[in-house]
C-alpha cells in the first residue's frame, strides 16, 4: 500500500513538473514575443519622430533638407543632409531646431542603439528591397517621390516582421511603406519607412 502511494506521488510529481515545464516554455515564448514587440514599437516610433522632425523643418524653412550632392547621377543626390535636423550647418533661413536629439556624423545622424539614421528621396515602386539597395528606387524625372527614413545596423529582421505587420499587413520586404534588406557587407539590416510625399528633385 505504501509502495502504491509512493508510486502515485512520483507520478503526480512528474506530471506537475511536466506542466511547470510546459508553462515555462509558453511564458518564455510570450515574454520573448513581448520584448520583440516592444523593440519594434520603439524603433517604429524613432523612425516616425525623424519624419515629424523633417516635416517641422520643412514648415519652418519652406524648403526640403539639403541634398548631399548636386550630381543627379549620384545616389548622394537622393540622400539628404539629415544632420540639418540637429545642427544648422548650411545656415538655412528660419531654422528653429534642433528638431531631434541625436549625435551627428557627417551628413547623417547616429542612432544610440543601432547605427545611422538617413533621410532619402525615393519612389514607392516595387523595384527595390530584399538584397537590392535603395538607390534602385531613386526618384528620377517625373516619378512620384517620398521622404523615406532609414535606420541601419540592425542585427536581424525579427522586428521588421512585426513592423511590416503593423504598417503593411505583412506584405513582405519589397512592397508597401515599410521595407528592409540585409546589407551584404555584414553591417546588418536596413529598415526603411516611407513617411510622406515630397517634391521630385529632378522636376
Between residues 118 and 22, which one has the greater pLDDT? 118
Closest listed residue to residue 138, CA positions, set 118, 154, 124, 152: 124
| Domain positions in the chain | 2-198
Backbone φ and ψ for 148, nearest 5 degrees, come out as -120, 135
Which grid cell sits at 158? 525579427
Between residues 40 and 3, which one has the greater pLDDT? 40
Q: What is the pLDDT of residues 31-74, one digit of tens each?
A: 667 777 888 999 999 999 999 999 999 999 999 999 998 988 88
pLDDT at 4 (0 to 100) = 54
Mean pLDDT, the chain, whole residue set:
84
Name the DSSP class of 98.
-
pTM (2 decimals)?
A: 0.81
Which helix (H) or strand (E) segment holds residue 16: the answer is helix 2-61
Lowest mean pLDDT among 21-25, 160-164, 194-198: 21-25
Closest listed residue to residue 190, CA positions, set 104, 86, 102, 120: 120
Amino acid at each position: 500500500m505504501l509502495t502504491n502511494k509512493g508510486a502515485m506521488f512520483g507520478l503526480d510529481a512528474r506530471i506537475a513538473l511536466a506542466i511547470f515545464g510546459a508553462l515555462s516554455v509558453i511564458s518564455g515564448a510570450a515574454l520573448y514575443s513581448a520584448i520583440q514587440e516592444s523593440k519594434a514599437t520603439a524603433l517604429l516610433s524613432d523612425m516616425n519622430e525623424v519624419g515629424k522632425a523633417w516635416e517641422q523643418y520643412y514648415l519652418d524653412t519652406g524648403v526640403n533638407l539639403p541634398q548631399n550632392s548636386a550630381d543627379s547621377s549620384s545616389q548622394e543626390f537622393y540622400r539628404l543632409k539629415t544632420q540639418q535636423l540637429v545642427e544648422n550647418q548650411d545656415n538655412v533661413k528660419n531654422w528653429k531646431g534642433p528638431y531631434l536629439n541625436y549625435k551627428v556624423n557627417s551628413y547623417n545622424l547616429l542612432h544610440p542603439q543601432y547605427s545611422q539614421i538617413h533621410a532619402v528621396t525615393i519612389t514607392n515602386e516595387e523595384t527595390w528591397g530584399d538584397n537590392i539597395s535603395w538607390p534602385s528606387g531613386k526618384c528620377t524625372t517625373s516619378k512620384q517621390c517620398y521622404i523615406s527614413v532609414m535606420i541601419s545596423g540592425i542585427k536581424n529582421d525579427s522586428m521588421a516582421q512585426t513592423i511590416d505587420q503593423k504598417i503593411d499587413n505583412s506584405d513582405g520586404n519589397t512592397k508597401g511603406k515599410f521595407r528592409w534588406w540585409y546589407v551584404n557587407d555584414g553591417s546588418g539590416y536596413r529598415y526603411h519607412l516611407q513617411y510622406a510625399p515630397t517634391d521630385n528633385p529632378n522636376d
